[in-house]
Amino acid sequence: MSGHQADEPNRCESRGTSRRPRSIRPAVEGLSVENGTPILHELLASLHEGVVIADGDCRIVAISEAFTAITGYSSEDVVGRHPACLAADRCAVPPADDWPNGGIPSEMCGRRKDGTPFPARLKAAEVRGGDGRVTHRIIVFSDLTEDREKERLIWRLAHYDRLTDLPNYTLLLDRLKMLLAAAKREDGVVAAVVIDLDHFKTINDSLGHAVGDEVLRVTARRIADAVLATDTAARRGGDQFIVVLPHLRTADDAATVAENLMQAVAQPIALDNQRISVTPSIGIGLYPDNHGEAEGLIRCADAAMCHAKGLGRNSFQYFTPAMNTRAQERLALESALRNGIARNEFSLHYQPQVRIGDGALVGVEALLRWQPRGGAAVPPAKFIPVAEDCGFIVELGEWVLREACRQRGRWTGMGFPDFTVAVNCSALQFRQQNFIEKVLGAVAEFGLSAGTLELELTESIMMVNPESAGRLLHDLTAAGIAIAIDDFGTGYSSLAYLKRLPVGRLKIDASFVRQLGTDPTDHAIVSAIIALGKSLKLELVAEGVENAMLLETLAGLGCTVAQGYHICHPVDASDLEDWIARRS
Ligand code: C2E
Ligand code: MG
Ligand code: MG
């Protein structure tokens, strides 16, 4: 549940400004305020409103008894002061000196002696002497605290569900309309998610309504907890809830939330020595794909929810079949990925990097391969982004790191020379608090010598937070880990930072290298990168070298290391060993 406050009536606010104070000339003329008269005292004692009487200079000369009751200030506290001293600072009240001239607000936020604010309605009048000059100003105010409390209570009753304390359908619809208007302006993606509990009637009928109510209360809390503070979870009525997700990056994000909601709702509920299980059927309607209006979007989600029920309940469905298929595939891929490590479905291939001058092997890049059991191999371009989105890349990256270090240790044991093993690191992995411990742990565990492990990071990983990235890179290099910038040229780099980072190599992205001989722009880019790298004293590695001509051109431009199909495809460890043996 979130943002309730924003929708509630303001507890204490200034509303409007009255015109110039009314002049009441002859009626109170002759009442000497300073001396006091019985009539005036009677009057001030009998009124329920707070009354302030100030002189022509706007200094308080008398107050009513109700004034003290409302504000806590006695005469001694305020006589001689300006009436504006009662206004709470944060309220828009004209500066004290403007009061006699600019008029005073018809409503304002006052401040009691104990500091608490209170809303007040004001009326002001002036008393003029025979010469027309203002001799006194009278301000009458009433405390609106109780009125406002009642307003708030009524508003809350009208907008919140009494059983679960979630926003009700009316409030949800209001918010959805506002969010859709914002999404239209900002090209946003919004989802309406309808959640219906499966077989809830059976719980009500067999266990009674008190248990049914408790199940709804617990479920409501779980739903509210499963979404972000910026989302809105509401009870529509009966056993139906609606969640609005306003800040989605893509339509697929709604599936992740739906999955979380399914899990949260399906947890057994312990009640009176029994465990009650209830599953949800969930339908998702999306703006802009399905509908542009609030009610229409909810209708789409309703239809999708019914479809989920029809398919056997306890599942979620998108409104359109195409989205459905995509989301289901993605989730299937995600769950298959998560199982892949335990099932030994991942392996590493290694692609050699050679010195262009003499063809010597200087390193290999470890590239992840996934061969799901009983299925076709999935290319990294397909599964790495999914693993990144769902956070699994951290675990997977750790596996790669350890496996690459293990292999490097094994090669050392077999007497192979000290070529480096380069491991690709994702942004998420790099940002883990314990990243450096993991890296150094793997290096120590497999006894790697300094300089034999290289981490490949992209420019954007370092540029998100250059200072902390810089510190981390310095610590890594101090521990003998080499750093390469991968896919250089495709992201944003600040040369100023690049200069300060302890980077050893720049890898020129294959997309520039591929057309080096044929595209003058690519030729210009590659030669500029090489010149830049040289000036920063970095080693340059060209990726995607597919033929001899490219190799020759790169050599001419001063590039020192090459990697690509022309030299060797990525191969498994034993094929790499054969390749090395053949070359030597
Ligand atoms: P990358 O780091 O830029 O890796 C180089 C990619 O270029 C590899 O694709 C490699 O097989 C391919 N390649 C090598 N030589 C040639 C060539 O001559 N021509 C062409 N057309 N391609 C060539 P791969 O193995 O499919 O990997 C793709 C991307 O997936 C990698 O790009 C990297 O960003 C990511 N990746 C692979 N393994 C890992 C990993 O363990 N962790 C992380 N975070 N990302 C990985
Ligand atoms: Mg790489
Ligand atoms: Mg690359």
The number of folded domains in the chain is: 3
Q: How far is the CA of 496 from the centre of ligand 1 (A)?
A: 28
279 found inside a domain: yes
Of 406, 543, 549, 572, the one to substitute when testing ligand 1's pocket (max ligand atoms within 8 A of C-beta) is: 543
Give CA–CA dist 60/154, Å, rounded: 38
Q: Give me the DSSP letters along 288-344.
A: TTT-SSHHHHHHHHHHHHHHHHHTTSSSEEESSHHHHHHHHHHHHHHHHHHHHTTTT
Decide if 340 contacts 370 (C-beta within 8 A).
yes
Does 497 reside within a domain? yes
Q: For residue 251, give its domain range.
A: 162-319
Measured from the Cα of 387, ligand 1's closest atom is 44
Question: Closest residue (by CA) to atom 34 of ligand 1?
Answer: 424
Q: Atom of ligand 1 at shortest distance to CA of 379?
A: 26
Ligand with smallest separation from the Cα of 347:
1
Give the domain CATH number at 558.
3.20.20.450
- Three-state DSSP string of 375-430: CCCECHHHHHHHHHHCCCHHHHHHHHHHHHHHHHHHHHHCCCCCCEEEEECCHHHH
The position carrying tokens 């090459």 is 562
Assess whether the previous peptide bond of 38 is cis (omega < 30° from 0): no
Residues 465 and 577 in one domain: yes
Whether residues 219 and 70 fall in one domain: no
Nearest-atom index, ligand 1, CA of 563: 15
572: CA distance to ligand 1 center in Å? 14
Verify that 375 and 451 share a domain, yes or no. yes
| Ligand 1 atom index nearest CA of 456 | 2
Which residue, of 119, 149, 179, is where some domain finishes?
Answer: 149
Which of 93, 114, 149 is the C-terminal boundary of a domain?
A: 149
485/502 Cα distance (integer angstroms): 11
> Quick one: tokens of 424?
């690709």
Ligand 1 pocket list (CB less than 6 A): 351, 367-368, 379-381, 384, 397, 400, 424-426, 456, 486-487, 510, 543-546, 564-565, 570
Interval between CA 269 and ligand 3 midpoint (Å): 50
Secondary structure (H, E, C), 181-192: HHHHHHCCEEEE
CA-CA distance, 230 to 251, in Å (whole number)?
17
Is residue 139 within 8 Å of 124, Cβ to Cβ? yes
Supply the pLDDT for residue 409.
Answer: 97
Q: Does residue 95 belong to any structural domain of this protein? A: yes
Residue 93 shares a structural domain with residue 192: no
Model-level pTM greater than 0.75? no
**What is the spatial distance between Cα 463 and Cα 331, in angstroms, rounded to a whole number?**
31
Per-residue confidence (pLDDT) for residue 129, from 0 to 100 = 86
Q: Are residues 366 and 301 in the same domain?
A: no
180 and 107 inside one domain: no
According to DSSP, residue 448 is labeled P
Residues 101 and 193 in one domain: no
pLDDT, position 435: 95
The amino acid that residue 42 corresponds to is E
The residue nearest atom 43 of ligand 1, judged by CA position, is 424
Residue 452 sits in the same domain as residue 564: yes
Cα(255)–Cα(284) distance, rounded to whole angstroms?
8
- CA pseudo-torsion sign 168, 174, 180, 182: negative
Atom of ligand 1 nearest to the CA of 367: 38
Same domain? 353 vs 222: no
Per the DSSP assignment, residues forming a β-bridge with 542 are 508, 562
Task: Point out the domain boundary residue: 123, 149, 175.
Answer: 149
| Encoded tokens for 224 | 């509210």
367, 392, 426: which to mutate for ligand 1, most atoms within 8 A of CB? 367
Q: Where are the beta strands (DSSP E) in 88-230?
A: 107-111, 117-128, 134-143, 189-197
pLDDT of residue 515: 87
Residues 122 and 172 in one domain: no
pLDDT of residue 23: 39
Write down the pLDDT at residue 98: 53
Domain identity same for 372 and 455? yes
Which candidate, 4, 287, 289, 318, places its Cα nearest to that of 172?
A: 4
**How far is the centre of ligand 1, averaged over its atoms, from the C-alpha of 367 (Å)?**
6
**Is 329 a member of any domain?**
no
Does residue 481 sit within a domain? yes
Residue bearing the CA closest to ligand 1, atom 23: 544
418 with 566, same domain: the answer is yes
Mutate to test the pocket of ligand 1, among 392, 394, 424 (most ligand atoms within 8 A of CB): 424
DSSP 8-state code for residue 204: H
Give residue 390 CA to ligand 3 midpoint distance, Å: 22
Does residue 156 lie within any of the structural domains? Answer: no
- Ligand nearest the Cα of residue 351 is 1
Mean pLDDT by runs of 10 across the 584 residues of the chain is 42 44 40 58 82 88 92 93 77 51 72 91 86 87 91 90 95 96 95 94 80 95 95 95 94 93 94 86 94 92 87 87 70 90 96 96 98 94 88 95 98 96 93 93 96 92 77 96 90 71 93 89 91 91 96 95 98 98 90
- Residue having the nearest C-alpha atom to atom 15 of ligand 1: 564
The number of CA neighbours under 13 Å toward the Cβ of 307 is 16
Residue 148: Cβ within 10 Å count: 17
CA-wise closest residue to 84 among 76, 69, 66, 102: 102
Token code pair at residue 303: 């239809």
The H-or-E segment that residue 147 falls in is helix 145-159
